[in-house]
Structure 1
Amino acid sequence: MKLYFAPGACSLSPHIVAHEAGLELQLEKVDTQTKVLQSGGDFWKINPKGYVPALELEPGEVLTEGPALVLYLADLRPEAGLVPAEGSRERYRVQEMLGYINSELHKTYAPLFQPTTPDVTREERTVYLFKRYKLIEERLATRAYLFGDTFNIADAYLYTVTRWAKYVKVDLSGFPNLMAFMERVSARPAVRKALAAEGLPV
């Protein structure tokens, strides 16, 4: 399998999950501005959507969208315990959280990366993030990870998008449980391996 990624982008989430599951991935870096692969190819031909992540399962078959990728990778190694069993109520709760992170956090960060975004929009998006992180903060008050003491795919996604806060100058220091979660996840060997492989600070 080959993961098409951009350093620190949402593709970091399936990258982390692969390491947690003990799966081997080939990595292909994508320039998100030009859509040119590190090897020189055209990323549009790999993923017509034009964004990472994309996971080549076999030649000619590519899976896209981060929440789908992390589920797929976790299901390849069920013994790793990264997602509850199919059909279980617990699995739907994890999918519910993936949807929340995707729609309420991930998408809210997007305009903050654009230098042309007006200040009033930046302020509104920041306030919105704080509102959505409040639920996460309360949840993490009684547990190490989103679903207890065991790391799973939703934690990988939350960690990935929350790392963006420092790059877009969103101060999350008012969420101490979230900050402790970030430190906890950063210390995991699989996470450190993924960060190092992408050339990111550990």
Structure 2
Amino acid sequence: MKLYYSSGACSLSPHIALYESGLAFEAVSAPTKTHKLADGTDYYTINPLGYVPLLELDDGRRLHEGPAIVQYIADLVPAKQLAPANGTFERYKLQEWLTMIGTELHKGGFSFLFNPATPAEFKPVLLERLHGRLKWVDSELAGKQYLLGDHFSVADPYLFTVTNWAPFLSVDLSGYPNLLAFRARVAARPAVQAAMKAEGLLK
């Protein structure tokens, strides 16, 4: 398998999931600023949408979208218990979290703040909305090790990844003790450190 990623982007989430899975894979840098691979290939010829992540299987089939990719990875290694079994209520809770993080935090919050085209007068509104969502996430993490309880799942690296962007956007997380404790737990995992080192995010 090949994972196309851009350092520090949302593709860090499946990158972590792959390290957690123990599966063999190749990580291919596809920087979102240049859309050029190391060999000069135009990334748009691989993914016409131009963004990451993209997972290419050994038979050439490709999967777009992080929430789909991480569930696919988890289902390849059920013994690792990176996702609850399909059809269970707990699996739908995983999908609920992946959807919430993707729509309410990632695309509905941080992405707008990153975008230089976002009007300055709109940013306070975005920040207020984002903090409202983060406050709710913090309350949901009370008494839990991870999003689904005491067991790590593929939803956790996604939340970890998007909240990594907070310092770059002056989003203060100091008022969310449960979220900060969660982030510390996830950051300490060997697979997380391996993925971050591979992306040049840790020395």
Q: What is the aligned length? A: 202
1:170 is the counterpart of 2:171: yes
Instruction: Mark the runs of 5 or more structure 2 residues left unpaired by the alignment.
Output: none
Could you say which residue in structure 1 is the equivalent of 2:161?
160
Could you say which residue in structure 2 is the equivalent of 1:117?
118
**Is the 2:93–2:148 Cα contact (8 Å) retained in structure 1?**
no
Could you say which residue in structure 2 is the equivalent of 1:42?
42
Residue 116 of structure 1: CA displacement?
Answer: 4.2
- Structure 2 counterpart SS, 1:147: coil
Map of 1:57-68 to 2, 5 A cutoff?
Answer: 57-68=57-68
Q: Following the alignment from structure 2 to structure 1, what is the Cα–Cα distance between the partners of residues 7 and 59?
A: 23
Could you say which residue in structure 2 is the equivalent of 1:102?
102
Q: Following the alignment from structure 2 to structure 1, what is the Cα–Cα distance between the partners of residues 24 and 58?
A: 14
**Is the 1:28–1:39 Cα contact (8 Å) retained in structure 2?**
no
Residue 120 of structure 1: CA displacement?
Answer: 2.0
1:21 is the counterpart of 2:18: no
Could you say which residue in structure 1 is the equivalent of 2:145?
144
Q: How many percent identity over aligned positions?
A: 51
- TM-score, scaled to structure 1: 0.96
- Structure 2 counterpart SS, 1:173: coil
Residue 115 of structure 1: CA displacement?
Answer: 3.3
Could you say which residue in structure 2 is the equivalent of 1:69?
69
Q: Which amino acid aligns with 2:110?
A: Y
In the TM superposition, structure 1's runs of 4+ consecutive aligned residues that sit over 4 Å from their partners are none
Could you say which residue in structure 2 is the equivalent of 1:4?
4
- Structure 2 counterpart SS, 1:28: strand
- TM-score, scaled to structure 2: 0.96
- Structure 1 counterpart SS, 2:55: strand
